[in-house]
Amino acid sequence: MLLGSLEYRKDFILEISYRYLMKRVEMIRQTKLTIEGIEGFMLREVTPFGTSAKVSCPKEYLGRKVYLVFIHDKSNSHSP
């Protein structure tokens, strides 16, 4: 029974990790992007959200796939 108990704990910890921790996604660094077949685009500011960040978007786009494009802005002190 001890082995089953340890397996349960491992699964529980993995579930919590996947649910509450965001994975780090590598950014593709390029200076030009061409996208066909789009409905439009929005320019939004990234704002703090706990220990992470968020971009506001109208709820009509919930569940949709989106592109987040990073723009080099010299006036922003947080830019690399």
Q: What's the total number of domains in the chain? A: 1
| Cβ pair 70, 27 in contact under 8 A | yes
Inside any domain, residue 44:
yes
Inside any domain, residue 50:
yes
* Tokens of residue 6, six digits: 């340890």
SS (H, E, C) 11-64: HHHHHHHHHHCCCCCCCCCCCCCCCCCCCCCCCCCEEEECCEEEECCCHHHCCC
Region 13-28: mean pLDDT is 66
Inside any domain, residue 70:
no
Inside any domain, residue 43:
yes
Which domain covers residue 12, as residue numbers?
2-61
Inside any domain, residue 78:
no
Region 11-21: mean pLDDT is 63
The reply to whether the predicted model has a pTM over 0.75 is no
Query: Per residue in 30-71, pLDDT tens?
Result: 888 888 888 888 888 888 988 888 888 888 888 988 888 887
